[in-house]
Amino acid sequence: MNNLTSRTCCRIALLCVAFAASGEQLDLLTSYDVQLIVEAVPEVVAAQANGKCPGFSITRWGDDKLWVQARGRCFDGSSQSTLINNYVVDRRNGVVFLGEGETPLRSESLHRRQSEVIAAARRRVLSNEEARCLAKKAMESLARVRETGDSFELQMTVSANEEKAVFSGVHRLPSVRVTTSTTVTVDKRTGEVVENATGASFLSDEFSLLAARVLAQRVPVILTTDDAVEIARVHPAFAGYRSLKCTEIAASTLEVLAERRFVGLVGHCAGDPAHPDISVSVDLRTGRVLDERNQRELTSPESAAVASRLLAVLHSRRRNIQKLIESACAAEHK
């Protein structure tokens, strides 16, 4: 394993540990999910259609809700504040309220989007096969004594429900005629595996790496903000920006849409000297560069080439992770 891969693995393992420790449920709606829902709120749809360029700023609201502020990014002189509205979204069911209002927002398209997002969130819960695979890896990592020819046998002790699966495992060491058994519970909604006898979570390197990979497959396959800048930077719209004094390309996650990042030119010297008012949005799923106001594609072979390369890396990484998971879990089925 080279250094880079090793570092990446460590990072993934650490992420997993943090994830498991936080106990965050896989089927609880994420900021990304919540943005997808708010994007379907009729007045946000209208703001997009009217060229107001909505962007979201998201903060927590209590333990299981998010506060989403939608503000227009394109100032059109019709108002001095560009606020579209504030929405509180329940992460357990996707219901949207106006701030602390008590009446849920309803519309056909919003309902459709809520259903889609919730269905996708439910699919993040571990399958019984994934739970079994994690349980086996956990038991293997618990066994201090290993030898050639030893075996682990797992049985699901009770029928799994949508939250938990309990496995009884037997470890046989035939050469010394030793058999040990243990029982573990997999929380399918968090990926946490607990040894029933101690109540302790498994956190070995090997187990955590597999768990991290399983969880990583649940993350949407989209480009990052840095990727978006890479794609926009070579677009002819930004040609020559380096020769402009006090001007740089900037993108921030302070204001986003679920699958869009806004990339623009900003001044960075005192006095904010005039610079071309250029801003585009980059579609994180396709890498297309769009006009922020009207969402029309700003075609550029240079940007398309960078997008294609970055997306290829992204998809290849995802396929590799899938193969690693399949390889780790395939032994289980033998």
Partner 1 sequence: MTTAFNKVQADAQGPPLIYNPPPAPAPPQPPTWFFSWMPQRPNGLSSIREIVTNYPECNKADSRAIDKKLDFIVKYYSDAQWVATNVRNELTQRGVSFSNTQGLATMFLQWGAWESGWMESGSRSAVQNNFFGAQRGAPGSVPCPSSVGRTTNSCFPLAMGFAQQLSAVLSMVPRTRANPNTSNLSYLAQLENMLASDTGASATTLLQGIASFGWNSVDPQYGTTVTAGIRLSTELNCMKNNGYISK
Task: Using CB under 8 A, list all residues that contact partner 1.
Answer: 23, 57-63, 65, 67, 69, 71, 73-75, 77-83, 85-86, 98-101, 248, 250-252, 254-255, 262-268, 270-272, 279
By beta-carbon proximity to partner 1, the closer residue of 69 and 157 is 69
Whole-number minimum distance, CB 103 to partner 1, in Å?
Answer: 9
By beta-carbon proximity to partner 1, the closer residue of 62 and 174 is 62
Whole-number minimum distance, CB 193 to partner 1, in Å?
Answer: 16
Whole-number minimum distance, CB 59 to partner 1, in Å?
Answer: 4
Whole-number minimum distance, CB 148 to partner 1, in Å?
Answer: 42
Query: What's the N-to-C CA distance of the chain in angstroms?
Result: 26
Question: In sequence order, what are the residues at sequence separation of 6 or more whose Cβ sits closer than 8 angstroms to the Cβ of residue 71?
Answer: 54, 55, 57, 82, 83, 84, 255
The two structure tokens encoding residue 271: 């006095």
Helix, strand or coil, per DSSP, at residue 67: strand
CA-wise closest residue to 117 among 66, 153, 75 = 66
The two structure tokens encoding residue 120: 């996708």
By beta-carbon proximity to partner 1, the closer residue of 27 and 255 is 255
Whole-number minimum distance, CB 215 to partner 1, in Å?
Answer: 18
Whole-number minimum distance, CB 282 to partner 1, in Å?
Answer: 13
By beta-carbon proximity to partner 1, the closer residue of 153 and 226 is 226
By beta-carbon proximity to partner 1, the closer residue of 118 and 154 is 118
Q: How many alpha carbons fall within 13 Å on the CB side of residue 303? A: 26
- How far apart are alpha carbons 78 and 85 in whole angstroms? 16
By beta-carbon proximity to partner 1, the closer residue of 99 and 236 is 99
Radius of gyration of the chain (CA): 24
Which strands, in side-by-side order, build the sheet including 279-283? 247-251, 260-267, 279-283, 289-291
